[in-house]
Amino acid sequence: MPHFLIQKDEIKEDKIELKNIETISHLVQSLRVKKGEKVKFIDECENVYLTEIINADKKNFVAKIISREKSKRKLDFNLCTLISVLKPDAMHLAIQNAVQSGAKEIYTVYSKNAAVKLNSITDKKEKWQKIATEAFKQCERADIPNVFGIDTFENIFKKFKKENIIIFAEKDATFKIKEALNNINKEEKILAVFGPEGGFCEDEFNYFKKENLKLTTLGNLIFKAPSAITAGLFGIISEYENKR
C-alpha cells in the first residue's frame, strides 16, 4: 500500500484532515478512494499513520487514525548515487531503482557517451524529483531522497571524500565492492557512480584514475544501466551490513 506525505498541521488529534490539493486530487480523482477504505500517510518526522477514510471529496478529505508507528523503511547510513543521464525511459527507471534501493541523494551528470543530447535534458530536475517522490510513496520509504540537477563529475565529487567514491565501471576495475568499502566511516556519505548506456569514455576513465578513485566491478556480467544501479547499490548495502 503506497503512503502519502502529510504535514504535522494536518493531524488533528485522532484524525487527518488533508490540505494539500494535489494529494486530495490524486486520492479522490486518480485512485477513486471511498469512505471506509484504508490509506497510509507519513509525516515529515517519519511517523506512519494507517487510517480509515471518513470523508473523501475534492474539498474535504478526512481520515480516522487507526494506528501510528515510526517508519523503519530507510538505510541507517548515507548511501548516495550519481547517475549519468540516460534516455528518458531508462532514466526514469534508474531513478526509481535508486529510490527503491535506499539512495538518500541522487546526483546527475552528463557523460560524453550519453545517448541523449544535452539540450534535451537541461531542465529535468523537477521532473526527476517528482519521479523520485512517486517512487518514495510506492515503496513506502521513510525519507524522500533529493534529486540534484546536472552538474560535473568534479563539482559532485567535491562533496565527498575521495575514498568514499565508488565508481562502477565495465573495465579497468581494480576493486571488488567489499574492498572498496574498507576504511569508510558509517557516519560519512558514500557515493556510488554509474555510467551511461555506452559506458564511460576514455577521458572520464583517465580522470578517475588521475584522482585515484576506486573503480569497482559488478562481476563478469554486463547490466543495462538501470539494472546496474540496483545491483551496485544492493551490493554496497549487503557488504556494508556484513562489515558490522
Q: What percent of the chain has pLDDT over 90?
A: 75
pLDDT (mean) for 83-112: 96
Smallest Cα–Cα separation from 108: which of 90, 93, 86, 134? 86
pLDDT tens digits along 208-230: 999 999 999 888 888 899 999 99
Residue 162 pLDDT: 93
In whole angstroms, what is the distance from residue 85 CA to residue 87 CA? 7
Q: Is the pLDDT of residue 71 over 90?
A: yes
In whole angstroms, what is the distance from residue 138 CA to residue 111 CA? 30
Asked if 168 and 205 touch (Cβ cutoff 8 Å), the reply is: no
Listed in sequence order, the residues at least 6 apart from 199 whose beta carbon sits closer than 8 Å to its beta carbon are 113, 169, 170, 171
CB atoms within 10 A of CB 1: 9
pLDDT tens digits along 160-183: 999 999 999 877 778 888 888 888
Out of 2-6, 80-84, 183-187, give the one with best mean pLDDT. Answer: 80-84
3-70: CATH homologous superfamily? Hypothetical PUA domain-like; domain 1 (2.40.240.20)
Q: Is the pLDDT of residue 47 over 80?
A: yes
pTM: 0.89
Q: What architecture does CATH give domain 79-242?
A: 3-Layer(aba) Sandwich (3.40)
CB atoms within 10 A of CB 217: 18
Which residues are bridge partners to 49 per DSSP? 41, 68
Residue 213 pLDDT: 94
Comparing 14 with 169, the larger pLDDT belongs to 14
Q: Is the pLDDT of residue 118 over 80?
A: yes
Extract the C-alpha cell encoding 171: 573495465
Listed in sequence order, the residues at least 6 apart from 51 whose beta carbon sits closer than 8 Å to its beta carbon are 16, 38, 39, 40, 41, 63, 64, 65, 66
> Could you tell me the pLDDT band of residue 37, with boundaries at 50, 70 and 90?
very high
The whole-chain average pLDDT of the chain stands at: 92
> Could you tell me the pLDDT band of residue 243, with boundaries at 50, 70 and 90?
low
List the single range of 61-65, 78-82, 119-123, 177-181 with lowest mean pLDDT.
Answer: 119-123
Q: Is the pLDDT of residue 244 over 60?
A: no
Domain residue ranges of the chain, discontinuous segments joined by +: 3-70, 79-242
